[in-house]
Chains A and B, each alone.
Chain A
């Protein structure tokens, strides 16, 4: 696969490490009330869609940026990629 890196252009997927669902960006506040229940969902519950999926890839053998890649898990078509930091800053 080729990942369209927003800064570096198309890069081979072999340069990346895959993590999983982009919802991992939405980490609950550990000091808030009910944090344990929120963390239980955060740590263990993920959507695993057959279709369009937003997911985290780490450019480990590259510029070390975390990306949010939008990928169709059925066709492997990649619909977009952006810096995870940008996604995190605007709150998804």
Chain B
């Protein structure tokens, strides 16, 4: 066992968990990684490309190696980093990218093929034949090289998103972040402190330095208690700020229930959109490793991580008593690992330091001016080769090696707006540049303030400065005395040698790959990244990028600043798509709108269909009807024989009022509306400014200065937006006001020869005779004994028809009342299917015809576009390219009445070859017409105006169909219009 004394774990309780099915135990306070180490598990994964055995490299979110699958069944989550998974009772983890087992992986043969799998391998090898990439190469590569598997099941967990606002957002809960939050909290500012760990303290938890002669955790606990007592401070633990967005908006994911065996009623994670007036980035630093031959053996880890495991989690990467540890470091900080391990009774064999003047800071053997040049132990480190300055080399038996090449500030968020990190020769590191996100300052190790003292004071000052910008005076708090010994590394970027030395562990990129990239002239950092895939794994190269840059700089002989740097983009760490979706899944994917008669339709057993956001009744099946066509045919027939009722509330309604309302509408519609008499309705068509038709509907004049415009269901929002654009941006001096009343009025279509008879029974005393209320009349009146209503005599079906509108809350009752009142007239509700059949039979254009590619002229409405006035789209509709188009809307019936007409079929002259050049049009709408007893269709046909009676071929190659159709008038029902006028 490798558990040692001390640590911040609760030994009074045990937590059971499994790894690859093996039952293991840990304690509260453990991560999965520390618990695995405590159980002597060093081998946890296989690498992406070569399937090399891999262990745990780090103790934080930068982990490139220890990626595991968590959970089982639908909750299985691939590619989680064991180093940040908080242990809970019952946690089930398994290794990934190995077959049949972690210890023996058949695809490790890739490692022997390594000479062939170098940088740019895919680009060079799989070029030919072209068709093989998708069918052969890529599937094979995907199987061989990969990460974890998806569960392929719906996510059973719930997610949420929320908005937070604050004066100061502090990102990171280490010494700098805590000092910043304390400073701002005491000043009364609204503060949010977000920390990715489950325990506040950051690096203070991993180190042994006292604060004011007491354990650092005492100070952390005192600050945590004070922050909790301040109502203006909100501490979000287990929360990663993953991106800096525009204008002080930050994205954060809070892992609400990931550490619980079962989330229960809680959401699993929350997405927070934090709007912060100022922010302090105190994200700490990530340690660099030093590439040497076979430096990816399990048991080799970052020296700071090894120290953190010992100090915070009381574990070492050793598996048996008597095993020994070594440290390889180019800086004094790495020596601290040896000091702390010695203090905890761990057998430290040596510190190997390439610096000739390396100090010996504790009770351990020091090899100065020496390097680690090799490692043995395929499934777990067994020995390392140490080579001295004089070339002398010997192998040392060690089971764990800590490596430290210095620290890279975690400046990621500071470069999310393309701010470029700046090389600091003094720090031997990249620091945040001056061009970071506005309002964001950086403090602590993230700003190169590498000592605890510097981090504490840096954090406090950053908060003070940020609040001063906001006019909030903040006093610096008394901060505890802390260590202040900087550990600047002596540049030593990699060990030269023959073996493969890993730079990017997650994407399996070695020093040799970088050298090859350089030989192939991919020397720019951006080219090198893409050629080798370095830094392009899910860890975004947190432990690799700077080292790779330094290696390239050595190879090219250019200084590091001249070699360049890469920047980072959100997310800082991987974010699950589930939490980005929040609660917007399934029926909540978008708002759902119900029509006023929804309850009534549901009670009738209606089948509903989604129409945009609306749920509309599609048809109303009756007992004995087994196919939708039976219901629809019945509804259509009943409407044409008696009277049918349909909820048409979803059509957009825009109320237009003002002295200049008529003049305004003349500019909105292609046709003229100002000549419309009060109490009358006119059909209108609207164009886009480029001359294409985009919407149609009716315009009713209720008073000199009051119109009601209807739009199609789909364009209700767009037409309103465009009309507001015209009113505010184009003609702001017109006296006109607009409001959308779509949801305010329930509107029901009453269509069929008995429509008037039915309406006469509910209208209060109005004369509906043809003489006093003719076709295209409208009126405001009352129904059912005083209910305010609007009546329009308009027809979409070709029948005698009306649309009646009442305040929305009365729609349901009105529908029920009319069905009841019209029982003896055959009153029948019909849905959107029958509505479609009725309008195709009548030859009315709808969305299929007005699809953004057609003109008023093509629709047979060309004469409506007035040339006497300026209206939106009028000028462009007359340009030659559109005006010369001869395609026209035609009706189509099969020559053989048994044949089907299929929308989407293309039209060709009989006998002509069927090619794009000979294409003569297409079918836009088709249905079975109960009225004609055959299928019918509407379509656009070249020279369509003069081809009535001709036979064309409707080609539908997808279904292997070629049907002979006769060109007819699009008005299949009552072409003279007698029915709707009488």
Contact = CB atoms under 8 A, between A and B. Distances in A.
Report if A and B associate in a common complex.
Answer: yes
Interface of A: 1-2, 13, 17, 19, 24-25, 27-31, 35-36, 39-40, 42-44, 56, 58, 60, 64-66, 75-78, 83-85, 87-89
B247 interface: yes
A58 to B, nearest CB: 6
A2 B417 contact: no
A1 B246 contact: yes
A interface: dominant SS: mixed
A58 B247 contact: no
A1 B273 CA distance: 11
B878 A36 contact: yes
Contact of B876 (A43, A65, A75): A43
Given A40-B876, A88-B730, 11 more contacts: A1-B249, A2-B246, A29-B870, A30-B870, A30-B871, A44-B690, A58-B721, A66-B728, A87-B729, A88-B728, A89-B733
B725 interface: yes
Query: What 6 A-B pairs come out closest when comparing CB atoms?
Result: A30-B870, A85-B732, A2-B247, A85-B728, A1-B246, A76-B246
B879 interface: yes
Contacts of B878: 36
Contacts of B870: 29-31
B438 interface: yes
B729 A84 contact: yes
25 contacts: A1-B245, A2-B275, A13-B246, A25-B730, A29-B870, A30-B870, A30-B875, A31-B870, A39-B689, A39-B875, A42-B689, A43-B690, A43-B876, A56-B729, A58-B721, A58-B724, A60-B721, A64-B724, A66-B728, A76-B246, A76-B247, A77-B438, A87-B729, A89-B732, A89-B733
Contact of B875 (A2, A25, A36): A36
B874 interface: yes
A65 B729 CA distance: 10
Nearest to B163: A12
A13 B246 CA distance: 10
Interface in B398-440: 417, 438
Contacts of B732: 85, 88-89
Contacts of B417: 75
B725 A58 contact: yes
A48 B491 CA distance: 46
Contacts of A88: 728-730, 732
Contacts of B690: 43-44
Interface of B: 245-249, 275, 417, 438, 689-690, 717, 721, 724-725, 728-730, 732-733, 869-871, 874-876, 878-879
Nearest to A44: B690
Contacts of A35: 875
A39 B876 contact: yes
A40 to B, nearest CB: 8
Contacts of B879: 36, 40
A78 B247 CA distance: 9
A55 to B, nearest CB: 12
For B438, B876, B879, the residue with the greatest tally of chain A CB atoms inside 10 Å of its CB is B876
A44 B175 CA distance: 56
Contacts of A27: 689, 730
B689 A43 contact: yes
Nearest to B725: A66
B882 to A, nearest CB: 11
Nearest to B876: A39
A30 B725 contact: no
Contacts of A24: 725, 729
Contacts of A66: 724-725, 728-729
Contacts of A85: 728-729, 732
A57 to B, nearest CB: 11
Contacts of B275: 2
Contacts of B721: 17, 58, 60
B190 to A, nearest CB: 16
A83 B725 CA distance: 12
Contacts of B871: 30
B247 A1 contact: yes
A19 B728 contact: no
B693 to A, nearest CB: 15
For B247, B717, B874, B875, the residue with the greatest tally of chain A CB atoms inside 10 Å of its CB is B875
B621 to A, nearest CB: 38
Contacts of B248: 2
Contacts of A58: 721, 724-725
Nearest to A42: B689
A28 B873 CA distance: 11
For B689, B717, B879, the residue with the greatest tally of chain A CB atoms inside 10 Å of its CB is B689
Contacts of A13: 246
A49 to B, nearest CB: 18
B883 to A, nearest CB: 11
Nearest to A25: B729
B589 to A, nearest CB: 16
Contacts of A65: 728
A87 B732 CA distance: 10
Nearest to B417: A75
Contacts of A87: 729
For B417, B725, B879, the residue with the greatest tally of chain A CB atoms inside 10 Å of its CB is B725
A59 B876 CA distance: 28
A74 B912 CA distance: 54
Nearest to A67: B728
Contacts of B869: 31
Contacts of B876: 36, 39-40, 43
Nearest to A3: B247
Contacts of A44: 690
